[in-house]
């Protein structure tokens, strides 16, 4: 089993979640109003097509802005795979990155916020030797 770790701007992710709730409520209201709209038999198929389009959740999905979450790497028993293409190759590189990006925190793929000490423990569990 593996767990992916990222640096995440939690302020933006929380804002996206709140906006998604609003968009979902608007979508639900539009669907309700569309279903309640009375039309002749001639327009019933058009109404149903519009309802199908409004029912598409992907159409109303709020995406996080690029750079909101950057993968550090993936923990597996006995190994941590660093995402070197994102600039992470050891604990020091993560800590330096966090110092220059104070709005970010370390999170696992389930959204659980990890402190620096907890992340060090993950690396220890993986058998990754830490230089600091």
Residue 79 bridge partners (DSSP)? 76
Among 25, 22, 54, residue whose Cα is nearest residue 37: 54
Banded model confidence at residue 92, pLDDT cuts 50, 70, 90: very high
The whole-number average pLDDT for the span 67-90 is 94
Average pLDDT value for the chain = 92
């Amino acid at each position: 089993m593996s767990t992916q770790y990222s640096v995440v701007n939690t302020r933006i992710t929380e804002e996206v979640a709140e906006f998604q709730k609003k968009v979902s409520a608007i979508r639900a209201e539009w669907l309700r109003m569309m279903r309640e709209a009375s039309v002749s038999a001639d327009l019933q198929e058009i109404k149903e097509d519009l309802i199908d389009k409004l029912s598409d959740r992907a159409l109303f999905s709020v995406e996080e802005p690029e750079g909101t979450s950057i993968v550090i790497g993936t923990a597996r028993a006995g190994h941590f795979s660093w995402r070197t293409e994102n600039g992470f190759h050891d604990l020091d590189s993560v800590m330096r990155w966090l110092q220059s990006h104070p709005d970010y925190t370390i999170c696992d793929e389930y959204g659980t916020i990890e402190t620096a000490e907890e992340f060090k423990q993950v690396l220890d569990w993986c058998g990754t030797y830490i230089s600091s």
